[in-house]
Structure 1
Amino acid sequence: MFRRMSQLSIFGATVALLVCTNAQAMGPFQVYEQALRNDPVFLGAIKERDAGLENRIIGRAGLLPKLNYSYNKGRNNSQATVPDGRGGTSHDDRNYDSYGSTFTLQQPLIDYEAYASYRKGVAQALFADENFRGKSQELLVRVLTFYTQALFAQDQIEIAQAKKKAFEQQFQQNEHMFRQGEGTRTDILEAESRYELATAEEIEARDEQDAALRELGALIGVPTVDIRDLDPLRDRFESFTLSPANYDAWHELAISNNPNLASQRHAVEVARYEIERNRAGHLPRLSAYATSRRVESESGNTYNQRYDTNTIGIEISMPLYAGGGVSAATRQASRTMEQAEYELDSQTRTTLIELRRQFSACLSGVSKLRAYQKALTSAEALVISTKQSILGGERVNLDALNAEQQLYTTRRDLAQARYDYLMAWTKLHYYAGTLREDDLARVDEAFRPGS
């Protein structure tokens, strides 16, 4: 009975281990969810956005009333010298306490510099918001990029291992035939050369996979990720319907929705209002103020006197000359705005070029997938027929090696085409500015296990 219970315990532990192992498997969307909590680049972007949004409040503060309070109290030791009425003077030592208390309320009425600062703060807040939206979408792209790089490297490793196995078998077969006097030394060297090249390809793929897994680890806050924890790509998956179907509609989407273009447009607005803020250095300012002041023994003339004064009035100030600094600052801000406009033009061209490239890749990707799938079927059939032809004396060993090489090259190209298609579809939405979590969840369906 105890033995049976022990067996059941071992079985239960094994099942639990398998369940835990399976639960650790992650698709791109699961990696993204963890990256939202752990990626330092994204977390830094959140703080950058929060800091940028404060510019709206900072700019608005210049238009609102300002209330100040000041208080002072001191001990005074003074000596007053006054005429004594007889042609001489007398001295009066005064040791007394003094204090002052003042409330001041000031409201700008006409202050173009404050208005320009407010509009600049609004533009800075909008810039921060759009910049964060761009980095949020960029995180989706980074997750899928490193995820597919790791899986493609695994495909290359498996292909290289299969090539090594096939070339090793070919090498042994050629060596055996050479000993029997039916083969050549060239056949042996050819198989050996192909084997060593496959070994080099495997080493390179492992290095690329290690880098991609460490990038994924950095996203989710661990040193590295085990490739076995990633869901593989389905052998077959349905291509996505491209909506809208024409490029002009995607072009309009990118112009109106791309966050990088939107943030750069706000950067131009920030520079424009910086010009206005500097130009306001030549303009007058008008403000209303109210003060409530209470003082006692404020000076020697008001010794032992107390005053309570309430004042309401307006104040106007007119700058006349500031050493040329206002004009220079205005010219400097103008050059900065022109720079921002050129950067917007450059960003627009770059974005539209990439948008067109990804749109074309999506259209051609479907045809490439079908073509590579047919090519793979043909390559597999070619390997079989070539081996049969060698037995019949119609082909030589080099033909078999070339057929094997073509088969593995086609497998690699098919794997690359599948990942490229998913990346092109994702980047198309990214450059259009419409990439959302739902889109990554849709791509994630192509990586579900059990297919």
Structure 2
Amino acid sequence: MARLFAILLLSVGLSACSTLTDMWPSSVPADSSLAGDVSVATESQHSAFEAGAENIQPEGQLPAKHEQQESAALSAALDTLDQAQAAQLTLAQAWPMALAHDPSWLAATSARQATDTFRTQGLAGLLPQIQAGYSRSRIDGLRRQPWLFGLMRESILEYDSSNAYVQLQQPLFDLGRYHTWRWAEARAVQGDADWLAARQQLAARLSDAWIALLGARDALELRQALADSLSAQLAGQEALFRHNEGNVIDIQQIRSRLETARADAIRAQASLDVAQEALQSMLGVPIGRGPGQRLPVTPQFAATSSAPATASDLTTIHPTVLPPLQPAQLVDWLDMARARNADIIAQRASLRVAQVDVARAASRHAPTLAFVANWSKADSENLSSLSQRTNTYVVGLQLSVPLFSGGYDTALHAQARAQASQASHELDATQEQTLADVMRHYQGITGGAQRIRALESSAQSAALGLEATRKTHQFGLGSNLDTLRMQDRLFNVRAQLNQARLEYLRARIALLAAAGIPLDEIFVGQAFEH
């Protein structure tokens, strides 16, 4: 996982702003470095990032030339890595699987399909409304009519009655229908914005699950390396004891730490299983190849060795490739977030819907005017037209003026204004939270880089100190307990270093998401369109 972190960080961290042509080496030799170590970047890699940094636009928009170069380089690198890891699942392969299975994303897709129908619904209110009807009935009865001298005359009724009509109504002046159409358009736009926000959230959740898996695998391999180292030391001490050169105290001290390391490895294995299950739940398919098999996944932007971690990896410290953040200034990232953040865009769309809803509620107080045309044909429609056939044509204007609705329209208007105010405050809260997140992630990157360098220096010092303590003990000038303490210190520093690297990577991805850069396009190596 050494090159895993380096290449993933390089590809994701600068995918929005630098050329990646020279990012990956043509071949990556396999080694046995511990998960979390990162190979040393070449000078050409750093110069490529510096060259790309000079063409960053301050408003967060990428030059088209750099978009094409970045897309081509990234896609080529991913193709190479996919061929190298053909038997394993890549992040680019996991992305369409998550799109096809993740319940939250499927719910968002269905919601978008539902809101998209609002466009047709709103337009329908402005178009002519045509309706037709036909009725036919059989009349059987007795009719009584006053006659001479107070007498009643009776007659039997037996006849068929029919009525057919066609009516057309076209609104000429109707603010309610007009604002309903505007509201429907705004609601459809909001559905699109919510869908894009859900897509971004899915990409972020997938990357979080991936990073969690890397961290769990890191922890397991590190603890296994510690256990292997202690096991080798125990075997050496037991051999010395058999030749009357060791003592029981040293053996017991090593055995105690070995059992603790094995217990920690068991716990790390359980954490890895949980991380694997979390990723599988998003993809909807079992990823393991069989009972007891480890998760056959490879991070998309990495070319890692399949060799397991060994005890010597505890003292092998590879410097982490930390490409410069582009754009480098915090104000540029804040501007990008204001303009492109998916949550802010969705909240703006929600505010627009609420504002149009206010106008729609106010329109209930306005009069309406409609053109009406009607044709009807009746045969013995009633007793007065018995045995008569009539054709009627009506063309005219229909004016409707609302006078009193019991206070309903006034209350509805007040409710709409309050909801618009609520949406405005929610937009302000979303913007403030997003900008705070951008600042936090930006500080996490800048401060995280310094922390990684400090931990690398500390790990190097601890490794040298462990080696010196071992040599001192071999010459009889130190104790075995001193060696174990130095080894524990090195292990703790290595664990902190691995965690700092993952936190740095997580902050980098989170900053891209907060700035509105589509993470899914990074996964599949496509160019940015915004």
Normalising TM by the smaller chain, what interval?
0.7 to 0.9
Aligned: 1:230 with 2:313: no
Q: How many residue pairs are counted as aligned between the two chains? A: 424
Aligned: 1:198 with 2:268: no
Q: What is the CA deviation profile of residues 378-409 of structure 1, one whole-angstrom value per residue up to 9, with x for unaligned ones?
A: 33222211100112233322221122122222
Percent identity among equivalent residues? 29
Match of 1:216 in 2: 279
Aligned: 1:93 with 2:160: no
Aligned: 1:318 with 2:401: yes
Distance 1:227 1:112 in 2: 64
Distance 1:356 1:442 in 2: 27
Partner SS state of residue 193, structure 2: helix
User: Residues 404, 67 of structure 1: CA spacing in aligned structure 2 closer, same or farther, 3 A cutoff?
Assistant: same
Distance 1:331 1:193 in 2: 73
Partner SS state of residue 522, structure 2: helix
Deviation at 1:213, TM superposition (A): 1.1
Q: What is the CA deviation profile of residues 86-138 of structure 1, one whole-angstrom value per residue up to 9, with x for unaligned ones?
A: 54231122211111111111111222222222222112111110111111112
> Which residue of 61, 79, 92 corresponds with 1:29?
92
- Is the contact made by 1:426 and 1:435 (CA closer than 8 Å) also made in structure 2? no
Match of 2:446 in 1: 363
Root-mean-square deviation over aligned CA pairs: 2.8
Unaligned runs of 5+ in 1: 1-18, 444-451
User: Residues 341, 196 of structure 1: CA spacing in aligned structure 2 closer, same or farther, 3 A cutoff?
Assistant: farther
Distance 1:227 1:291 in 2: 75
Match of 1:297 in 2: 380
Distance 2:480 2:165 in 1: 102
Match of 1:246 in 2: 329
Matches within 5 A, 1:401-416: 401-416=484-499
Larger mean Cα displacement after TM superposition, 162-171 or 240-249: 162-171
Match of 2:198 in 1: 135
Aligned: 1:70 with 2:133: yes
Partner SS state of residue 285, structure 2: coil
Partner SS state of residue 323, structure 1: coil
Deviation at 1:80, TM superposition (A): 2.6
Q: In structure 1, give the amino acid aligned to 2:341.
A: N
Distance 1:222 1:246 in 2: 42
> Which residue of 120, 141, 158 corresponds with 2:183?
120
- Is the contact made by 1:218 and 1:224 (CA closer than 8 Å) also made in structure 2? no
Deviation at 1:252, TM superposition (A): 1.2
Distance 2:389 2:321 in 1: 89
- Is the contact made by 1:150 and 1:227 (CA closer than 8 Å) also made in structure 2? no
TM-score normalized by the length of structure 2: 0.73
- Is the contact made by 2:438 and 2:511 (CA closer than 8 Å) also made in structure 1? yes
Q: Which has the higher helix share?
A: 1
User: Residues 326, 93 of structure 1: CA spacing in aligned structure 2 closer, same or farther, 3 A cutoff?
Assistant: same
Compare CA radii of gyration and give the structure with the larger one.
Answer: 1
User: Residues 442, 402 of structure 1: CA spacing in aligned structure 2 closer, same or farther, 3 A cutoff?
Assistant: farther
- Is the contact made by 2:287 and 2:296 (CA closer than 8 Å) also made in structure 1? no
Q: What is the CA deviation profile of residues 11-34 of structure 1, one whole-angstrom value per residue up to 9, with x for unaligned ones?
A: xxxxxxxx9995331222221132
Deviation at 1:223, TM superposition (A): 3.9
- Is the contact made by 2:367 and 2:399 (CA closer than 8 Å) also made in structure 1? yes
Distance 2:97 2:108 in 1: 16
Unaligned runs of 5+ in 2: 1-81, 305-317
Deviation at 1:197, TM superposition (A): 3.7
Matches within 5 A, 1:158-169: 158-169=221-232
Q: What is the CA deviation profile of residues 194-216 of structure 1, one whole-angstrom value per residue up to 9, with x for unaligned ones?
A: 33442343233222222221121
- Is the contact made by 1:148 and 1:419 (CA closer than 8 Å) also made in structure 2? yes
Partner SS state of residue 162, structure 2: strand
> Which residue of 435, 440, 447 corresponds with 1:352?
435
Q: In structure 1, give the amino acid aligned to 2:280.
A: G
- Is the contact made by 1:151 and 1:227 (CA closer than 8 Å) also made in structure 2? no
Q: In structure 2, give the amino acid aligned to 1:289.
A: V
Q: In structure 2, give the amino acid aligned to 1:124.
A: R
Greater relative contact order, per chain length (Cα 8 Å cut-off, separation 6+):
2
Partner SS state of residue 298, structure 2: coil
Matches within 5 A, 1:32-51: 32-51=95-114
Match of 1:4 in 2: none
Partner SS state of residue 487, structure 2: helix
Distance 1:417 1:171 in 2: 31
User: Residues 177, 64 of structure 1: CA spacing in aligned structure 2 closer, same or farther, 3 A cutoff?
Assistant: same
Match of 2:416 in 1: 333
Q: In structure 2, give the amino acid aligned to 1:221.
A: G
- Is the contact made by 2:85 and 2:298 (CA closer than 8 Å) also made in structure 1? no
User: Residues 20, 250 of structure 1: CA spacing in aligned structure 2 closer, same or farther, 3 A cutoff?
Assistant: closer
Q: In structure 2, give the amino acid aligned to 1:50.
A: Q
Distance 2:422 2:343 in 1: 16
Distance 2:481 2:489 in 1: 12
